[in-house]
Amino acid sequence: MESARLALFFVAVTLTAQTPAPQRKFGVQVQPGPMDSILLKDYAPASSLVVPETQVDKARFPVIDVHTHTFQADIRTPQDVAAWVKTMDEVGIETSIVFTGATGEAFDRQVELYKPFGKRFQLWCSFDSSNIDAPDYSERAAKELERCFRAGARGVGELTDKGSGMQRGSLPPGKRLHPDDPRLDALWRKCAELNLPVNLHIADHPSCWKPLGPDQERTPDFQHFNLHGKDVLSYEELIERRNRMLEKHPKTTFIACHLSNQGHDLAALAQSLDRYPNLFVDISARDYEVGRQPRNAAKFLSRYKDRVLFGTDMGRAPSMYRGWWRLLETADEYMPGRIWWMYYGLELPPDVLRSLYRENARRLLNWN
Ligand SMILES: [Zn+2]
């Protein structure tokens, strides 16, 4: 008797496993249909929502863009630079900070390219990250930094550590150059001495450390940034190393870009800013973080209005700049974003906009 009941039970369990019970989600009976075969990457719903759309052609106040890249903006010739200046005039950018990613002769060539355009651009250099094991590394890197400074560099960056180190080429764990490495101490000190701010990309969006699967937060367009299961430091350890670097070098100005990759948790970012007076952040490429939490972000940007700088990091198309103005200046709702998240305008007050757009950059960067 007992075994017959057990057999029936197993039959029941097997049957249930084979034909899943019709699913109810939020009270709606889910049924099969044509949408079941659509690939995730092709999903692009059109919105029927009719709400005000505000076109902002030019920023409300003059803007210093503290995060651009010469290669990302596809700048090769003086004509390219001239075209960029024309766009900057149209959208309201006074000056663009250009990360050349270069040292040595490559940096000097960039200086020549931008020279005719005077104060419309400020060039930043990279740092020597080759042969980091050589005993003369720190001295060599600091010396080249000073040379770049004399050639016109007014900052260092963007330097990047997404967990596999900041050195040139790949090295095994333990051998890599992370921001708190003693070999960088001389370089960070030199930056303070020459009044060169550092733009540092530390960690990355936290979703990069989560598996690529049905609950991955960002779209398939961003999957090549994923680090899950790779031989890299964890998100948490990278933030820890950033903290050790900030603590060790209180006189050096660090601008952690992309809201220091803590834009998903503005309370945690606030704590970091409270703890380290030499930490500043740029908002570049994090339109999607502030746009999905407009009230929280507007409060944060008001409270830390002396600590956040405006940057783009997304090329130089006029529509890109205008997307930022709409996001920061208007109260428009349900704006389509870059990674499926809808944005809501922050409607920042004039004093916050002025600090974000220009005043913080005027105060913190080296304009001599
Ligand atoms: Zn960048």
Is the separation of the CB atoms in 177 and 131 below 8 Å? no
CA distances to 88, 91, 98, 99, 161 from 95, rounded to whole Å, are: 8, 12, 9, 13, 27
Crossing angle for the helix pair 185-193 and 235-248, nearest 10 degrees? 50
pLDDT for residue 2 is more than 70: no
Read off φ and ψ for residue 297, nearest 5 degrees. Answer: -70, -40
> How does pLDDT run across 169-222, given as a tens digit for each residue?
899 999 999 999 999 999 999 999 999 999 999 999 999 999 999 999 999 999
pLDDT for residue 22 is more than 80: no
Domains of the chain, with CATH numbers?
A: 63-364 (3.20.20.140)
How far apart are the CA of 65 and the centre of ligand 1, in A?
Answer: 12
Q: What is the DSSP string of 203-244?
A: S--GGGGS-SSTT-SS-GGGGGG--TTSSS--HHHHHHHHHH
Q: No. of H helices and E strands in the chain? A: 12, 10
How far apart are the CA of 202 and the centre of ligand 1, in A?
Answer: 11
> How does pLDDT run across 318-347, given as a tens digit for each residue?
999 999 999 999 999 999 988 889 999 999
Dihedral of the alpha carbons of 40, 290, 72, 306, in degrees to the nearest 10: -170
**Percent of the chain predicted with pLDDT > 90:** 89
* pLDDT value for 23: 85
* pLDDT value for 3: 55
pLDDT for residue 15 is more than 50: no
pLDDT, average across residues 64-83: 94
Query: Strand ranges (DSSP E) for the chain?
Result: 24-25, 28-29, 63-69, 93-99, 121-124, 156-161, 198-202, 254-256, 279-282, 308-309
How far apart are the CA of 16 and the centre of ligand 1, in A?
Answer: 51
How far apart are the CA of 171 and the centre of ligand 1, in A?
Answer: 23
How far apart are the CA of 298 and the centre of ligand 1, in A?
Answer: 23
How far apart are the CA of 68 and the centre of ligand 1, in A?
Answer: 6
* pLDDT value for 1: 45
* pLDDT value for 16: 47
pLDDT band of residue 72 (cuts 50, 70, 90) is: confident
pLDDT for residue 367 is more than 90: yes
How far apart are the CA of 258 and the centre of ligand 1, in A?
Answer: 8
pLDDT for residue 239 is more than 70: yes
How far apart are the CA of 313 and the centre of ligand 1, in A?
Answer: 5
Give the up-direction half-sphere exposure of residue 250: CA atoms within 13 A in the CB hemisphere.
4
Tell me the C-alpha distance between 88 and 315, whole Å.
12
How far apart are the CA of 73 and the centre of ligand 1, in A?
Answer: 11
* pLDDT value for 69: 97
- If we measure between CA atoms, which residue out of 181, 102, 185, 186 comes closest to residue 139? 186
How far apart are the CA of 46 and the centre of ligand 1, in A?
Answer: 31
Burial degree of 284 (CB within 10 A; 0-12, 13-18, 19+): buried
* pLDDT value for 7: 53
pLDDT for residue 14 is more than 60: no
Burial degree of 49 (CB within 10 A; 0-12, 13-18, 19+): exposed
- Retrieve residue 311's tokens: 């940057």
Tell me the C-alpha distance between 179 and 243, whole Å.
9
* pLDDT value for 73: 85
Q: What is the edge-to-edge ordering of all strands in the sheet holding 93-99?
A: 63-69, 93-99, 121-124
How far apart are the CA of 286 and the centre of ligand 1, in A?
Answer: 11
Is the separation of the CB atoms in 144 and 103 below 8 Å? yes
How far apart are the CA of 75 and the centre of ligand 1, in A?
Answer: 15
Chain-wide mean pLDDT for the chain? 94
How many whole angstroms from its chain centre is CA 348?
A: 21
How far apart are the CA of 36 and the centre of ligand 1, in A?
Answer: 37
pLDDT band of residue 306 (cuts 50, 70, 90) is: very high
> How does pLDDT run across 264-288, given as a tens digit for each residue?
999 999 999 999 999 999 999 999 9
* pLDDT value for 301: 98
Residues written for the chain? 368
> How does pLDDT run across 107-150, given as a tens digit for each residue?
999 999 999 999 999 999 999 999 999 999 999 999 999 999 99
